[in-house]
A = this chain, B = another copy of it.
């Protein structure tokens, strides 16, 4: 039986409308009177809180500490690193007045905080003993986007930005890849999103970075979402900011720098990978509510006992005690994407059974009304749902991955959704050609598998790198 929700456009009909509908119906965000900024509502923010809790722990386990920098950057400070300024200047918000007074120097709201960290590092880095500095910041940044979409492109973004300084290039390069790995594993094991990781081309890298690594996720419609990046800066900022340290060998040297960040954009990714025409689908490990309980009739006693047992096991739940009809409650549990729905009906109880419904497959599992068995089944199913969501996403993604050895093959795949792996001569002209002629942007050169010995898919000259292309959000 095909199901749908009358308030949600089918994703097959209009993916973009579907996305907005799911977000609205699941109460994740609200639009505000502040153009381009969204309100993250309690249910949406709870997802972010879960993401933050897991990632913050991983950052701390890898030796990082949190700090808080100012949110404003004086124009002169921002102007110190040239490439960086050029990359960000068109999309910053300027503060020009404090109260009634015009500021002597205008300030921008941070679009990212490299220069603020460097300004601080210059003061606190003196000796090799001060290194490494492994700092992270959870904060809001501002990028003055013209067109915005909830979670994907917003004027205000909640994110984390790691900023680290190291005595050696090797350490900094290790850090850049280590954090890429943290992001990759987090997306795989928690968000249930399979990703492709690799290095960005010169054209697509972060303003001011020597190298940018990226976590590229493929959405349900085959379009890419850049879902996290890590940057190796070498000593570029350290030179611009004149940061030096006295090394063990008594020589003054420049430290090597990295930065890395993920944002609420990942919630957009979560939605576009897993959700369906009935609403949100959330992986259990990140879902604020793991079990939606729907009591039908006078079943308070049993429900209370189950609730206590779920609390004991630290499994979050929501019991829908409103006066709505069971059908309405089922639909709402589906819209909200609770990984499991537990239906406890007076009639079923007479036959000594209850029903659990999986949100991912909509499969109904009827089991005997025994609290220990119910809770143990819930625990098992939560693991299965998590695994299945990842597997489904991976299988689907794999059907949308193409390999183009020739321009003919490339043209054939270009009209399909997905990622196309090519061989690339390394010349930016080919990359620009693909973007201008076919509307695809390079995603990345695959990690640990960059080299290509085949001819460039686009121009036929000797190839240097493997390179993924895809449309992007």
A residues neighboring B (CB under 8 Å): 30, 32-35, 37-42, 45-46, 48-49, 65-74, 77, 89-100, 107, 109, 116, 119-120, 123-124, 129, 135, 139-140, 142, 144, 155-156, 158, 322
A46–B33 touching, CB < 8 Å: no
A116–B66 touching, CB < 8 Å: no
A34–B99 touching, CB < 8 Å: no
Q: Which residue of chain B has the shortest Cβ distance to A107 in the bound complex?
A: B34
User: 5 additional contacts, CB 8 Å, given A34-B107, A90-B99?
Assistant: A32-B116, A34-B70, A42-B135, A45-B65, A96-B97
Q: Known contacts A32-B116, A33-B77, A123-B30; is A99 also within 8 Å of B68 by CB?
A: no
B144–A98 touching, CB < 8 Å: yes
Among B37, B40, B97, B124, the residue within 8 A (CB) of A30 is B124
A120–B34 touching, CB < 8 Å: no
Number of copies: 2
CB neighbours of A96 from chain B (8 A): 94-97
A32–B65 touching, CB < 8 Å: no
B144–A74 touching, CB < 8 Å: no
B94–A90 touching, CB < 8 Å: no
A41–B67 touching, CB < 8 Å: yes
A120–B73 touching, CB < 8 Å: no
Nearest-Cβ distance from residue A267 to partner chain B, whole angstroms? 12
> Could you pull out 6 A-B pairs where Cβ atoms are within 8 angstroms?
A30-B124, A45-B65, A46-B65, A48-B68, A89-B99, A93-B95
Instruction: Please report the C-alpha to C-alpha distance between residue A98 and residue B82 in the assembled complex, in whole angstroms.
Output: 20
Nearest-Cβ distance from residue A431 to partner chain B, whole angstroms? 26
CB neighbours of A77 from chain B (8 A): 33-34
Among B41, B65, B91, the residue within 8 A (CB) of A99 is B91
A68–B46 touching, CB < 8 Å: no
A100–B95 touching, CB < 8 Å: no
Instruction: Please report the C-alpha to C-alpha distance between residue A116 and residue B95 in the assembled complex, in whole angstroms.
Output: 20
A37–B70 touching, CB < 8 Å: yes
Instruction: Please report the C-alpha to C-alpha distance between residue A39 and residue B100 in the assembled complex, in whole angstroms.
Output: 26
B72–A120 touching, CB < 8 Å: no
Instruction: Please report the C-alpha to C-alpha distance between residue A66 and residue B120 in the assembled complex, in whole angstroms.
Output: 31
Q: Known contacts A32-B116, A98-B144; is A66 also within 8 Å of B45 by CB?
A: yes
A32–B69 touching, CB < 8 Å: yes
B93–A94 touching, CB < 8 Å: no
Nearest-Cβ distance from residue A358 to partner chain B, whole angstroms? 26
Instruction: Please report the C-alpha to C-alpha distance between residue A45 and residue B139 in the assembled complex, in whole angstroms.
Output: 13
Nearest-Cβ distance from residue A111 to partner chain B, whole angstroms? 11
B90–A97 touching, CB < 8 Å: no
Instruction: Please report the C-alpha to C-alpha distance between residue A156 and residue B120 in the assembled complex, in whole angstroms.
Output: 17
CB neighbours of A35 from chain B (8 A): 74
Among B39, B45, B90, the residue within 8 A (CB) of A70 is B39
CB neighbours of A66 from chain B (8 A): 42, 45-46, 49
Q: Which residue of chain B has the shortest Cβ distance to A101 in the bound complex?
A: B144
A98–B107 touching, CB < 8 Å: no
Instruction: Please report the C-alpha to C-alpha distance between residue A37 and residue B116 in the assembled complex, in whole angstroms.
Output: 12
A34–B73 touching, CB < 8 Å: yes
Instruction: Please report the C-alpha to C-alpha distance between residue A73 and residue B65 in the assembled complex, in whole angstroms.
Output: 32
Q: Known contacts A95-B109, A97-B93, A144-B98; is A42 also within 8 Å of B67 by CB?
A: yes
Instruction: Please report the C-alpha to C-alpha distance between residue A30 and residue B119 in the assembled complex, in whole angstroms.
Output: 11
A156–B71 touching, CB < 8 Å: yes
Q: Which residue of chain B has the shortest Cβ distance to A122 in the bound complex?
A: B33
Q: Known contacts A46-B66, A67-B41, A100-B90; is A32 also within 8 Å of B120 by CB?
A: yes
B42–A156 touching, CB < 8 Å: no
9 shortest A-B CB distances, which residue pairs?
Answer: A37-B70, A98-B144, A42-B65, A34-B70, A94-B97, A40-B68, A96-B96, A90-B99, A93-B95
